[in-house]
With several copies, the nearest count.
Chain A
Amino acid sequence: MSDEVAAEILQTHILDLAAEGRRLDGRAPDDYRTVTIEPGFVATADGSALVRIGETAALCGVKLEPGKPFPDTPNAGVLTTNAELIPLSSPTFEPGPPQPGAIEVSRVVDRAIRAAETVDLTRLCVTPGEKSWVCYVDIHMLGHDGNLIDAGMLAAVSALSGAVLPAKRFGIAEADYPLDVQHLPVECTFVRLGDTIVVDPTFDEEHAAQGRITVATDESGRVVAMQKGLVGAFSPDDVKAVVRRAFVHGDRLREQVRGARR
């Protein structure tokens, strides 16, 4: 019971601050937390990155294995994205099969990767209809202080950017070679706190929020995915404003992804 009361007091406080354009951690509404990208964190993966946004942490490992193309796309490789909200990373996550929250993260990140044509899947085809690379993008959340989608997306695109096809090990080519990443989508998430829409929400802000909205952009000025979540509403003008801000943050985040490549 006292937990609920405490939560309500915190929520009110967050909303009161937001009404004055302030936030619990001192940020302005359009301030994004510090982002760090540590590529190559996992040696057993063919590409990997540990991304931190404040105290939120997402570890992505990419594995590339030979497999079969889908019957309806015989000339393309296969890419699959999975996010695990493991109970280690938050007292609110439970063991067991993926919950809707984890599925939403997986799918929103997957849509952006796919729509931006981040990886040219036709280049992952080995023998049409017979053999192609399967690219597994697995995201393991290692800390949840809000904004999981952005963290998962940054980890995924950073891991893909540094990935190497183990072509030699599987006898597909004489030497391994880097995965070709042709676009750099990033997601940018906002929540509504009263009349203020803040970027990069913390865990507490998400719980106080009256609606969440995520916009994925790529480096060529395209919006490639969007997702409204949580209880709450946005006007079309809110959405347009948020898209504008998403491009600004997106360009900066993309610079970080590029800078972290090695």
Chain B
Amino acid sequence: MGSVGAKEVPVLLDAEGRRIDGRRLDELRPIQIRAGPLPQADGSAFVEWGANKVMAAVYGPREVHPRHLQQSTKAVIQCRYNMAAFSVDERKRPGLDRRSQEISKVIAEAFESVVFAEEFPRTSIDVYIEVLQANAGTRCAGLVAGSVALADAGIPMVDLLPAVAVGKVAGAIALDLKKEEDNFGEADLPMALVPQSGRLVLLQMEGHMTEPELAKALDLGVEGCKVIYEKMKAALRERYSVRPLAAEAA
């Protein structure tokens, strides 16, 4: 959101309703999703979304570390969202800051809302999300990558979890903010949808919106998630369809 006392604000919306990168208000940035790029992981995915690059890996179900977190009736879902030192304009000190810890928590809760954790008592399912290049919307990109990685790992889930942020930019509700829009816009509202049930398992907001704006933002976000959902399924189909070929080649 707009920093207090910051310098000149760029023109975020032109007279024709085009955004800073030429998109319409309800238009997503380009997204590429690749399932299975990391051979060492049980499941993995790489997401390029606008100028974001995010890698996710899933390990598990496996033994719980540290042991005292073990639960007798279900798997523990652990999530670590981390930003590489070089992923942002000003170098970030390595290690999880408070923002990363909060995001790790809400992403873990989102995944726990869809994974059939009771099928794997006394185990841990670990989702690692690494932001390699950041340009607003990294937690949503991380959710998408983590969700595809969970599917790639064969973890049973209610559904995939498409995610997107909706924002308010120059007074208008806009889908999928990029960095300048996030920095100088009025609000940011990331969400993750369970397409099957139409319910949200992640929802955060910061900035300011009126009630009608918020309603509009929620509806726009749900539509955005549906588009992303198709791309996620396509990435997994491609992964499975490639596998037999690779097997033949071997």
Contact = CB atoms under 8 A, between A and B. Distances in A.
Q: Touch between A and B in complex, CB under 8 Å?
A: yes
Interface of A: 4, 41-45, 48, 55, 59, 61-63, 65, 72-76, 82, 84, 86-91, 94-95, 97-98, 100-101, 103-104, 106-107, 111, 114-116, 121-122, 125, 136, 138, 140, 142-145, 211, 213, 218, 221-236, 238-240, 243-244, 247
Contacts of B62: 91
A211 B192 CA distance: 14
Given A91-B59, A103-B102, A55 B40 contact: yes
Given A65-B91, A86-B130, 12 more contacts: A42-B53, A62-B86, A73-B3, A88-B128, A115-B187, A122-B5, A136-B86, A138-B94, A222-B208, A228-B202, A233-B199, A236-B200
B246 to A, nearest CB: 14
Contacts of A44: 86-89, 133-135
- Closest CB pairs A-B (n = 6): A61-B86, A226-B205, A233-B199, A88-B128, A75-B5, A228-B203
Given A48-B86, A88-B128, A100 B113 contact: no
Interface in B184-208: 187, 189, 194, 197-208
Given A74-B5, A223-B208, A61 B84 contact: yes
Nearest to B106: A229
Given A43-B133, A236-B218, A231 B205 contact: no
Interface residues of B, number: 71
Contacts of A229: 105-106, 109
A72 B59 contact: no
26 contacts: A42-B87, A43-B51, A44-B133, A48-B86, A63-B85, A73-B6, A86-B128, A88-B130, A90-B40, A91-B40, A97-B95, A138-B84, A140-B130, A143-B40, A213-B203, A223-B205, A223-B211, A225-B206, A226-B189, A226-B206, A233-B194, A233-B201, A235-B200, A236-B200, A236-B222, A243-B211
Contacts of B104: 100
A100 B86 CA distance: 22
Overall SS of chain B's interface? mixed
Nearest to A185: B208
A106 B218 CA distance: 25
Contacts of A221: 210-211
A222 B210 contact: yes
A205 to B, nearest CB: 15
B180 interface: no
A115 B86 contact: no
A174 to B, nearest CB: 20
Contact of A233 (B133, B200, B208): B200
Contacts of B11: none
Contacts of A224: 206-208
Contacts of B82: 86
A116 B103 CA distance: 21
Overall SS of chain A's interface? mixed
A225 B200 CA distance: 16
B4 interface: yes
Nearest to B91: A63
A234 B112 contact: no
Contacts of A222: 208-210
Nearest to B114: A233
B80 A226 contact: no
A211 B205 CA distance: 16
Contacts of B109: 229-231
Contacts of A89: 38, 40, 57
Interface in B119-149: 126, 128-130, 132-135
B55 interface: yes
Interface in B32-73: 38-41, 51, 53, 55-57, 59, 62, 65, 72
Given A42-B86, A223-B208, A239-B200, A88 B218 contact: no
A74 B199 CA distance: 43
Given A104-B102, A138-B84, A222-B208, A235 B90 contact: no
B206 A115 contact: yes
A225 B205 contact: yes
